A and B are shown apart, each in its own frame.
Chain A
């Protein structure tokens, strides 16, 4: 059973098509990362799946149930992109109210446990009107998981948080996955997505531009890797032969006396390259292989 499945899901405001016929499947137990520039349609897509807005066309299912109603939503946790709370209520009051609304009526112990998991234990009885932006984000995550949901939507969970808190949230997200929950998250932090997500989709202009695991994306994006080699000087009479070989192996970016940078398409070529240098009487001193980062993939038009 898939945790999320959409078929031709679209949202238009007048003539402006924000989400354009999205087909997406998220399997149970995944940490699915959703990337895109501002205005790409990420939040609109999540808002459709969570019932905040209704789609213009298309269908979707959550936890295997088509057109999910409030009963399914009780098994889903949502942290919307902009979290605003009742300023005169404490964090504890929020958690108790939201859990009751989800039909689970969390005990005081459960509320405290969830507050501890987001590092808000000492602020449980403070009114949220006095909370900082980062604390509100944490409470947003706490309310999304208070009723022990099977599927959790987190819209930019760590934006505005300090590094220490962000690491804590990453750990929490991994723990949720270990408990068998599915996480669907958006983020602008590419490092974060690269580190914790098991699968990633990049959205551009209302459609999914790229999707896959980090490895698949790298392969999809550019079937090349950059190899930087430090080597001893190549004897003059071997230089032409080596250069010809390197040019046939990949794209030669830099080729100096003791330093060569080349992009190649196949990992096996590295070993062949080392052999070619040896045959041309040069010793390879160091090899660095750079694969495309998520940032490069993300920025690639």
Chain B
């Protein structure tokens, strides 16, 4: 599992797409933190909000574009290998669960490093490392990575997951906010399956997002075990 994790992690750093995304992430973190005092002076904020103002830029990017970023890099993490038959070399050496969780872990560590560096950049200005918001952000990325892996297992063509990934990446934040704030019962129930509802609160309910990610990975594992390569 760790061999696959390491390979996935390194290969994510090698693509042009990932370099662009990392650059966006770092730029947003840096400038949002740098100019957060300007933002704070223009708006009335509570003491807690004022404290979190430095991380708002990064959190907004992850909330609104995170799914798009994760899908952009990892929409074909499983189906590309199945499609191109390189998966045959993997399944004859490692268990399917080890492949699946190894790939997931590789994606997760990649985002962990990117976000940790972004938070460190922010901490230059805020003079503190906000572990709570960092954990919330990581829970969100965990969900997004698990969803990308699940779709990559369910849909066999990389072209389809790329298309669906882009649609979902744009739609999911909108759907998330709609589900959270809409009184409509037909829409409202969805909030329990989308992470935004759990990020609203300043407590540890964001851990539910990790449970949702775990369920998606278990579903992906169950499907992948039966899948022909």
Contacts and interface: CB of A to CB of B under 8 A. Distances in A.
6 pairs of A and B residues whose beta carbons are closest in the complex? A78-B92, A70-B95, A80-B88, A101-B93, A84-B85, A53-B228
A51 B90 CA distance: 10
B158 to A, nearest CB: 14
B15 to A, nearest CB: 10
B92 A50 contact: yes
Contacts of A83: 85
A201 to B, nearest CB: 21
B226 A73 contact: no
B86 interface: yes
Nearest to A81: B88
A51 B91 contact: yes
B186 interface: no
Interface string B210-229: 00000000000000001011
B94 interface: yes
B84 A80 contact: no
A52 B93 contact: no
Given A54-B226, A100-B3, A70 B89 contact: no
Interface string B87-113: 011111111001000000000000000
A51 B87 CA distance: 11
Nearest to B7: A97
Nearest to A97: B7
B4 interface: yes
A26 interface: no
A98 interface: yes
A86 to B, nearest CB: 6
B3 A101 contact: yes
Contact of B86 (A50, A52, A69, A86): A86
Contacts of B226: 54
A83 B85 CA distance: 7
Of the listed residues A54, A70, A86, A143, the one surrounded by the most CB atoms of chain B closer than 10 A to its CB is: A70
A164 B9 CA distance: 41
A259 interface: no
Contacts of A100: 3
Interface of A: 50-54, 69-70, 73-74, 76, 78, 80, 82-86, 97-98, 100-102, 143
B86 A51 contact: no
Contacts of A73: 92-94
Interface string B5-18: 00100000000000
Given A84-B84, A97-B7, A100-B3, A143 B228 contact: no
B89 A80 contact: yes
A101 B94 contact: yes
B7 A52 contact: no
A74 B84 CA distance: 23
A73 B86 CA distance: 17
B98 to A, nearest CB: 7
A50 B87 CA distance: 13
A52 B3 contact: no
Contacts of B95: 69-70
B217 to A, nearest CB: 18
Given A53-B229, A86-B86, A74 B93 contact: yes
B91 A52 contact: yes
Nearest to B98: A70
A98 B88 contact: no
A53 B84 CA distance: 16
Given A52-B91, A53-B229, A102-B93, 12 more contacts: A51-B92, A52-B229, A54-B226, A70-B93, A70-B95, A70-B98, A74-B93, A78-B89, A83-B85, A84-B85, A98-B89, A101-B3
A70 B93 CA distance: 6
Nearest to B88: A80
6 contacts: A50-B92, A51-B92, A70-B93, A70-B94, A82-B85, A82-B88
B78 to A, nearest CB: 15
A98 B93 contact: yes
Contact of A52 (B4, B84, B88, B94): B88
Contacts of B3: 97, 100-101
A98 B229 CA distance: 17
A40 B94 CA distance: 28
Contacts of B90: 101
B86 to A, nearest CB: 6
Contacts of B228: 52-54
Contacts of B89: 78, 80, 98, 143
A30 B4 CA distance: 33
Contacts of A143: 89
A82 B94 CA distance: 19
B85 A76 contact: no
A233 B161 CA distance: 81
Contacts of B84: 84
